[in-house]
Amino acid sequence: MKKRIAVLPGDGVGKEVARGAIEVLQAVGERFGHQFYFSYGRIGGVSIDQDGTPLPDETIELCKDSDAVLLGAVGGPKWDSLPGHLRPEKGLLKIRKELNLYANLRPTSYYPSLADSSPLRKEIIEGVDILMVRELCGGLYFGKPSERRQQGDKETVVDTLYYEKTEMERVIRLAFELAEKRSKKVTSVDKANVLESSRMWRETAEEVAKDFPEVALEHMLVDNAAMQMIKNPRQFDVVVTENMFGDILSDEASVLTGSLGMLPSASISTDGPYLYEPIHGSAPDIEGKNIANPIAMILSAAMMLRISFGLEQEAEAVENAVKEVLEGGGRTSDIAAKGKKNVSTTEMVEEIKATILDNEAILNIMGAYA
Ligand code: NAD
């Protein structure tokens, strides 16, 4: 198989983890006989510095011409004082809008070997397997107006929460379709006791549910969901929610696995290409130290292999290699095991690559005796 992949490393540790994911994909190509062609584009702070904008048109064109997009992370203190429209994060919001990426899928699974890295007790997180489906193109992050105002000597500010009902409907429908293939339960999270937008969200979820009689729908207020996620996370399977609630809840869910550095994501559009990125940011506090955990980015690449390219066996090879390395004790500092030496970003990538390629040797031997 031949595929063109646009790589947008971005800023901070985004560059370090994107490099790792590319090396892992090259190992997958070598093992399974695929050709992946990587083309690089700028986004975020690096692009503000070079192009004067957080997302140049040539990056948008590159993404639209590719079969899938891999993104590292954007942002950093260097650009924090720039006006809102010039912030690196605007590049991220713009690429989501340009590619029409309306749903962000964020799986959170329990790794037995990382039980000690989570701040929660093992009996609470054991067996957790949550798929968070976050609306990505609407809500507070995109609504206009979004501005500060000076009215006489009164300083005010406004952000707008705007949704079209069809935007709610398509992401909720996707959540139900995914739930049909999992444990047939959807938890829809909103703030219907306060927000009109949430009352429309709840109504829409009820309407969509009628088309999926085998899937159970429950509603949960976002404040309760935040609490339940920590108290009893096993009750959740597919969780669907609007943009900002999903942003916050999925970071909260990351502590279940031990670190932000473990959680991948896939952003789905109506007509492709899809975009894959870790849920963490550019982590300026650890930039350049070669200690960032590359697993979230590598697992995002595995999601790309499965969802965009239909390469299930290849995706599993990556996921199994990650599990094997963790079980063997390979840990970056964010998921460090007590009393054990940590590995660097590049060492973690090397171990995962070697495991993927070693598996081939084992498969060849098994094949010879089959
Ligand atoms: P962050 O996710 O960058 O970091 C939060 C904490 O998690 C930090 O302590 C960091 O060291 C740690 N961390 C994150 N990724 C890690 C990894 N792979 N391995 C080990 N530890 C990791 O969030 P933040 O500090 O709030 O934001 C930093 C910058 O990133 C800001 O400019 C923010 O706007 C931006 N940001 C970008 C994205 C994105 O590109 N999708 C998402 C969130 C934040």
Q: Where are the domains of the chain?
A: 1-105+261-370, 119-257
| Mean of pLDDT values over 330-354 | 90
Question: With a 6 A CB cut-off, is 260 part of the ligand 1 pocket?
Answer: yes
Q: In the structure, what pLDDT confidence band is assigned to residue 366 with cuts at 50, 70 and 90?
A: very low
Q: Are 94 and 47 in contact (CB under 8 A)?
A: no
Q: What residue has token string 């997302």?
A: 55
CA dihedral 317, 319, 325, 326 (to 10 degrees): -160
Tell me the sheet residues that pair with 71.
Answer: 8
Quick one: pLDDT at residue 370?
37
Pairwise CA distance, residues 173 & 62, whole Å: 30
Other Cβ atoms closer than 10 A to 191: 18
Instruction: List, for residues 118-163, the tens digit of each pLDDT value.
Output: 889 999 999 999 999 999 999 999 999 999 999 999 999 999 999 9
Q: Do domains 1-105+261-370 and 119-257 have the same CATH topology?
A: yes
Nearest in space to 317 (alpha carbons), one of 264, 353, 369, 346: 353
CA of 217 to the centre of ligand 1 (A): 33
User: What pTM, to 2 d.p., does this model score?
Assistant: 0.91
The per-residue pLDDT of the chain, averaged, comes to 93
Told to judge if 141 belongs to the known catalytic residues of this protein, a careful annotator would answer: yes
Question: With a 6 A CB cut-off, is 290 part of the ligand 1 pocket?
Answer: no
CA of 32 to the centre of ligand 1 (A): 33
Q: In the structure, what pLDDT confidence band is assigned to residue 341 with cuts at 50, 70 and 90?
A: confident
Pairwise CA distance, residues 252 & 191, whole Å: 18
Reply yes or no on domain 1-105+261-370 having CATH 1.10.287.3510: no
Told to judge if 285 belongs to the known catalytic residues of this protein, a careful annotator would answer: no
Told to judge if 358 belongs to the known catalytic residues of this protein, a careful annotator would answer: no
In the chain, the amino acid numbered 210 is K
In CATH, what is the architecture of 119-257?
3-Layer(aba) Sandwich (3.40)
Instruction: List, for residues 68-88, the tens digit of each pLDDT value.
Output: 999 999 999 999 999 878 899
Instruction: List, for residues 243-294, the tens digit of each pLDDT value.
Output: 999 999 988 988 888 788 999 999 999 888 999 999 999 999 999 999 999 9
Closest atom of ligand 1 to CA, residue 293: 19
Mention every residue, 6+ apart, whose C-beta is less than 8 A from residue 106. Answer: 131, 132, 133, 134, 246, 250, 253, 263, 264, 265, 279
Nearest in space to 115 (alpha carbons), one of 237, 259, 319: 259
Q: Which of 3, 90, 191, 353 is catalytic?
A: 191
Question: With a 6 A CB cut-off, is 74 part of the ligand 1 pocket?
Answer: yes
Residue-wise over 114-125: b if at least 16 C-beta within 10 A, else e?
beebbebeeeeb
Asked if the model's pLDDT at residue 164 lies above 60, the reply is yes
Told to judge if 251 belongs to the known catalytic residues of this protein, a careful annotator would answer: yes
Residue nearest to ligand 1 atom 8, measured at CA: 283
